[in-house]
Structure 1
Amino acid sequence: MSYTKGKLWPANPSTTRGASTKLSSSGSKIIYTNGATVIIRDLEDPARNSTYSGHIQPTTVARFSPSGYYCASGDVTGTVRVWDTVGAENILKNEVKVGFKINDLEWDGESKRIIAVGDGKNSSGAVFTFDTGNSAGEILGHSKPINAVSIRHQRPFRAVTASDDTHIGFFQGAPYKYVKTLKTHTRFVQDVRYAPSGDFFASAGADGKVFLYDGKEGEVVAELTNDAHASTVMACSWSADSKLLVTSSTDCTVKLWDVETRKVVNTWTVGSDLSSQQVGNTWVKNDIVSLSLSGDLNVFDRRETSRPRQIQYGAQRGITAFAAAPSGTLYAGAYDGRIVSYSDNGAEAIKGDGHTSQVTALAVSGNTIFSTGFDDCVREVDLSAGAYTSTTTGTNGQPKDAAGEADALYVITSKSLECIKGGKVVSKVSLSCGPFAVATSAKHIAVGAEDQKVYLFEKGSEPKQIGKLESNKGIVTALAFSPDGSLLAAGDSTGRIVLYDVEKKEVKTSRWTFHSGRVTSIAWSADGKHAASGSLDTNVYIWSVAKPMKNIGIKNAGAGGISGVAWVGTNIVASAGADGCVRTWEIKFHE
């Protein structure tokens, strides 16, 4: 058996209320960060999406070099990693530690020097050469965290920085030296960007103002006052010809400015609620991409005045629940309560009022998907409409796992096993074993527990316990019946999976032991010959029933750990996890 990589549906950018999120682009690709992962998303060809997982700590910003061949990414510990964007290996070119949390960074026009800025006790800025890490100047003049930096790509080189101290720093280079402070804004300065031509740079601030400056001397040229934003301007970005400037604001609008006339060409209103606040932007060729606080990437055609040309959806937080519908569409529930569907047509957010906190389980039943969450309720999604229904069922405690079938949903809480039909709890069995996982077959219900046992129940109006399976050596954290119900795979907290014969209540094999962390999910192929498993060890394994020692190890399948696996068709396995990404893997059987 072997495998090849399939599709990647990436996570959307991380956002923080009241803070600007930095986006960068090169050609048709946009780059941004989510958790410890750097994501490259191709708006024209999703097959070229990719991720970089070289950082250990949460990343904060990533920017392409002017050549597009390299990327510099920074994290909360002050580590800047420079790596190759050409090829799948993402070879590391250099790693530099600057000693402060990085809020932004920028390459110079020669792709040789990098300026990193952020928030530190002793320093909030550093200039260094990308290949050696040697100093190439110093960033001084600010008394509070620096939010943004931009470099003029033409000689003579110039650099500007924007800070919470309401000031803009102006520097000459190289090496870069402080020249003066610009005091145009009255509140935090969120962003500052040089035009590609180098003739101007622009600044955007929490006072709702946008200013233009001379690129060489740093003198104020104009304030853009015509149809100005009503609140904080979080980001600004220039078109490739330097004639247009786009700004994004917490007033939920995106404005396109003609630099020559100083007037607004287009205004797009994205929404009216908190999640529609615009916190970042960039140009991708002739399109404008503006980021909502919700993580949605709104793609605008600058000639279209009414709405985004498209919206790029995805999970914004770690995926905590995963399921596949018979159609092949994948569904992922995240830590923030959001559910997103994934198909060949892309990703779509489930519409309507969903969970208010972490989704703990998803179970598909016909044209409905059931979801459970830490808000102690079960919700239903109409798959044909892609929206929540009005049916919500409360549970007797916090739901930990769920398993669905044609006409019922079985949910385990810390106290009981509950059967839900038609939006009502029709049966309830008290459990004192510390239930952790649940699975169902045509005849049986299995409950995995903290006492390292699997409890078997016979289905009925009141489920009846008929036995225990006691060969696991850790908390039973994942369960799955084979399609015909004859076998039960039980994964535990030690990384071990025990395969049981359900009728005989005995072990069929205990050799599925290659995981090194807690098993979080198990899924069977339609023919019952193979099972896939995912673990906190970041790996996915494909197991053979006929040959227990024969397996495929998909190493590092998802940074931070795998939370769910599912089969799509006969030889495609999908996985999702803590990095918020969904991936598929094509399995090749040679048996």
Structure 2
Amino acid sequence: MDGGAGAAVELREAHRLAGHADRVWALAWNPSPGAGPVLASCGGDKAVRIWKRAPDGAWHCSDVLEDTHNRTVRSCAWSPDGKLLATASFDATTAVWEYNGGDFECVATLEGHENEVKSVSWSPSGLLLATCSRDKTAWIWEVQPGNEYECVSVMQGHTQDVKMVQWHPLLDILVSVSYDNTIKVWADDGDDEWHCVQTLTEANNCGHSSTVWAVSFNHKGDRMVTCSDDRTLKIWDTSADLSQPKTGEGHESWRHLSTLTGYHDRTIFSAHWSSEDIIASGAGDDAICLFAEERSSMAEGPLYKLILKKEKAHDMDINCVRWCPQSKPWHTDTQTITTRSKRIPRITNLIFMFCNQVFLRIFTPCFLNSCA
């Protein structure tokens, strides 16, 4: 598909990882630059797999974390320093794993949710861990000495299953999305009390009309993207001063910026914003879409343009799509291409991963030519 005047974009499969015995639900790249490209995946086989890239470029499963959860592992997330891995399960528990001397050890099991835990996310400081559940709540856990975790807040406000929680990349602000069609922003009031400071709805904020499945921030933290059963992606931005102290006060100013519709034919399960400001989405129609911002003098605000759509990227639903944060160090091509007035870094192997059943794929978006 045309990526703009004179620029063609192609999505090429680079690797296929097989090993899970059931549906793969979620993926997480280790954020530590020193770790090299390391990927965690989890699924319906109750296991978590750790994948590593060898010097020759081949991928292999280095560890299988099992015998801790007794039901589907629905979500996984690395701590900001890459030393801990949290996994959330339908068995209503969250496990925290630490890499010690060549092996992963489960150092904590967090209990309290009444039903399946759907998502887990670390705060940017690594001192807080958030979980959410089918019990309609989101919990915040504080990391204590000795691998202890204390629940410091049980946040109630959603009226249905909470699908995902995600921390702001710079601030201790938490966003949750739900089967009740809403997006909620949570913040500490400064006295260690967590409150919902904003709810984004269809009626009041041009929000979603059906289940909201996922949320992702851009690297600056001034925009976020959400995706939904209504087959749309929505872009939100904030006028808050992100240079303020890391509390939630004054950060309830998210507003609707743009709606991307007509690109997927079924539920959009996953969306992820890359460090290069490209949004990837994956859906129940088995397709992957990539979007980039395009500024136009004719438009009142920024527009987001489809730069690629790959049909049948998998044989079934695409449950998760994640950009690899370590693509830059692997490659040296840092030219740019231009989509009209928007310049996009031309990284020939900007890698991301997505999954459906049993196996995972790594793809490389390739900008085939420049239009300088």
Which band: TM-score by shorter chain? 0.5 to 0.7
User: Kindly tell me: are residues 182 and 52 of structure 1, through their superposed partners in 2, closer, same or farther at Cα, counting changes over 3 Å?
Assistant: same
Matches of 2:198 and 2:54 in 1, distance apart? 41
Please show how residues 475-494 of structure 1 align to structure 2 within 5 Å. Answer: none
Matches of 2:51 and 2:64 in 1, distance apart? 9
Who is 2:288 aligned against? 297
Matches of 1:282 and 1:306 in 2, distance apart? 14
1:221 and 2:219 are equivalent in the alignment: no
Who is 1:310 aligned against? 308
Who is 2:87 aligned against? 116
Mapped contact 1:113–1:136 kept (Cα < 8 A): no
User: Kindly tell me: are residues 103 and 283 of structure 1, through their superposed partners in 2, closer, same or farther at Cα, counting changes over 3 Å?
Assistant: same
- Give how far 1:580 is off: 9.8
1:126 counterpart letter in structure 2: A
Q: Which of 66, 70, 74 lines up with 1:103 in the alignment? A: 74
Mapped contact 1:288–1:302 kept (Cα < 8 A): no
Q: Which of 252, 258, 261 lines up with 1:269 in the alignment? A: 261
Matches of 1:198 and 1:69 in 2, distance apart? 26
Please show how residues 275-424 of structure 1 align to structure 2 within 5 Å. Answer: 275-284=265-274, 285-303=276-294, 305=303, 308-317=306-315
- Give how far 1:82 is off: 1.5
- Give how far 1:579 is off: 6.2
Q: Percent identity?
A: 20
Who is 1:183 aligned against? 156
Q: TM (normalized to structure 1)?
A: 0.43
1:85 counterpart letter in structure 2: R
Matches of 1:181 and 1:245 in 2, distance apart? 24
Which segments of 5 or more consecutive residues in structure 2 lack a partner in the other structure? 1-7, 240-252, 295-301, 317-357, 364-372
Matches of 1:48 and 1:255 in 2, distance apart? 28
1:191 counterpart letter in structure 2: M
Who is 1:246 aligned against? 225
1:186 counterpart letter in structure 2: T
Mapped contact 1:317–1:579 kept (Cα < 8 A): no
User: Kindly tell me: are residues 246 and 317 of structure 1, through their superposed partners in 2, closer, same or farther at Cα, counting changes over 3 Å?
Assistant: same
- Give how far 1:101 is off: 0.9
User: Kindly tell me: are residues 130 and 78 of structure 1, through their superposed partners in 2, closer, same or farther at Cα, counting changes over 3 Å?
Assistant: farther
Mapped contact 2:237–2:256 kept (Cα < 8 A): yes
Matches of 1:127 and 1:44 in 2, distance apart? 39
**Alpha carbon RMSD of aligned pairs, Å?**
2.9
Mapped contact 1:73–1:81 kept (Cα < 8 A): yes
Mapped contact 1:82–1:130 kept (Cα < 8 A): no
User: Kindly tell me: are residues 142 and 177 of structure 1, through their superposed partners in 2, closer, same or farther at Cα, counting changes over 3 Å?
Assistant: same
Who is 2:94 aligned against? 125
1:185 counterpart letter in structure 2: H
| 1:421-464: CA deviation from partner (whole Å, max 9, x where unpaired) | xxxxxxxxxxxxxxxxxxxxxxxxxxxxxxxxxxxxxxxxxxxx
2:220 counterpart letter in structure 1: D
Matches of 1:89 and 1:148 in 2, distance apart? 30
User: Kindly tell me: are residues 306 and 108 of structure 1, through their superposed partners in 2, closer, same or farther at Cα, counting changes over 3 Å?
Assistant: closer
3-state DSSP of counterpart to 1:55: strand
- Give how far 1:45 is off: 7.5
Q: Which of 49, 63, 66 lines up with 2:31 in the alignment? A: 66
Matches of 1:192 and 1:288 in 2, distance apart? 18
3-state DSSP of counterpart to 1:231: coil
| 1:189-216: CA deviation from partner (whole Å, max 9, x where unpaired) | 1111112113312111111111112279
| 1:159-184: CA deviation from partner (whole Å, max 9, x where unpaired) | 11111111111111153332221002
Matches of 1:89 and 1:124 in 2, distance apart? 34
- Give how far 1:254 is off: 1.0
- Give how far 1:236 is off: 0.5
Who is 2:249 aligned against? none
Who is 2:180 aligned against? 207
Mapped contact 1:138–1:178 kept (Cα < 8 A): no
3-state DSSP of counterpart to 2:109: coil
Who is 2:351 aligned against? none
Who is 1:164 aligned against? 134
Mapped contact 1:138–1:177 kept (Cα < 8 A): no
3-state DSSP of counterpart to 1:60: strand
For these two proteins, the number of residue pairs brought into alignment is: 277
Mapped contact 1:301–1:309 kept (Cα < 8 A): yes
Matches of 1:288 and 1:241 in 2, distance apart? 14
Mapped contact 1:124–1:139 kept (Cα < 8 A): yes
User: Kindly tell me: are residues 169 and 306 of structure 1, through their superposed partners in 2, closer, same or farther at Cα, counting changes over 3 Å?
Assistant: closer
Mapped contact 2:134–2:161 kept (Cα < 8 A): yes
User: Kindly tell me: are residues 109 and 251 of structure 1, through their superposed partners in 2, closer, same or farther at Cα, counting changes over 3 Å?
Assistant: same
Which segments of 5 or more consecutive residues in structure 1 lack a partner in the other structure? 1-42, 319-577, 584-591
Matches of 1:278 and 1:59 in 2, distance apart? 16
- Give how far 1:84 is off: 1.2
1:289 counterpart letter in structure 2: A
Who is 2:109 aligned against? 138
Mapped contact 2:47–2:65 kept (Cα < 8 A): yes
User: Kindly tell me: are residues 90 and 302 of structure 1, through their superposed partners in 2, closer, same or farther at Cα, counting changes over 3 Å?
Assistant: same
**Which of these two proteins has the greater Rg computed from alpha carbons?**
1
User: Kindly tell me: are residues 149 and 48 of structure 1, through their superposed partners in 2, closer, same or farther at Cα, counting changes over 3 Å?
Assistant: same
| 1:509-548: CA deviation from partner (whole Å, max 9, x where unpaired) | xxxxxxxxxxxxxxxxxxxxxxxxxxxxxxxxxxxxxxxx
Q: Which of 53, 58, 63 lines up with 1:89 in the alignment? A: 58
Instruction: Tell me: higher relative CO, structure 1 or 2? Use CA pairs within 8 A at least 6 residues apart.
Output: 2
3-state DSSP of counterpart to 1:219: strand
- Give how far 1:46 is off: 4.8
User: Kindly tell me: are residues 204 and 579 of structure 1, through their superposed partners in 2, closer, same or farther at Cα, counting changes over 3 Å?
Assistant: closer
Matches of 2:99 and 2:51 in 1, distance apart? 10
1:78 counterpart letter in structure 2: K
Mapped contact 1:57–1:75 kept (Cα < 8 A): yes
- Give how far 1:280 is off: 1.2
Q: TM (normalized to structure 2)?
A: 0.67
Matches of 2:132 and 2:140 in 1, distance apart? 9
